[in-house]
Amino acid sequence: MSCEGKTLFIDYSKCIGCETCEAVCKFLYDTPRIAMTRTIEGIAVPLYCKHCEHAHCMKVCNRGALLRDRDGAVVLQPLLCRGCETRNCILACPYAAFFATDRGVTVQKCDLCAARRDVGLEPACVEMCPCEAIVLADREKILELETEESRKAYEKVMTHIRPPAKSRRSSRED
């Protein structure tokens, strides 16, 4: 069963690491919901929520603060999130897409700019990306957007986020 709706697709082979996506998100929401990180090679890449079909974050949230909206986006319900001490969602997300805050809500995450979608606009990061690396796409169309270059770039980013067990062991032994 496929989750209906849209999600973000970032073509890391097109991304120039300019940080525009993070800056516009911070401008709109005070705490960015997409964040830049640097890979081991020094390449700046954005981390973002993929609004997974079987979202681990939703399964581990013991307060029911993560729900799907009408478009299938995984959204955070701030009033239910307040007071959570576990922050299990941060640990459960395989894409490092939850960000701890020091504000009333303990975490933040992308909601695909829900308020903007309500008035017919795309997420701000999509509209502002100067190289058109970020696309709001139908979930079932993601495979059509992928290229060999985008898959290779994605694999490098995922290796940065979740290093293979062998390389983790090697780095501990050094």
Q: How far is the C-alpha of 13 from the C-alpha of 44, rounded, in Å?
A: 12
Residue 100: inside a domain? yes
Residue 89: inside a domain? yes
Residue 112: inside a domain? yes
For residue 120, what are the β-bridge partners?
Answer: none
Buried b (16+ CB within 10 A) or exposed e, 149-165: ebeebbeebeebeeeee
Quick one: average pLDDT of 121-140?
A: 95
Residue 1: inside a domain? no
Domain count, the chain: 1
Residue with tokens 């239910």: 80
pLDDT per position as a tens digit, 40-49:
888 899 999 9
The domain spanning residue 111 has which CATH number?
3.30.70.20
pTM: 0.85
pLDDT per position as a tens digit, 53-87:
899 999 999 999 999 998 889 999 988 887 777 88
> Which structural domain, as residue segments, surrounds residue 148?
6-173
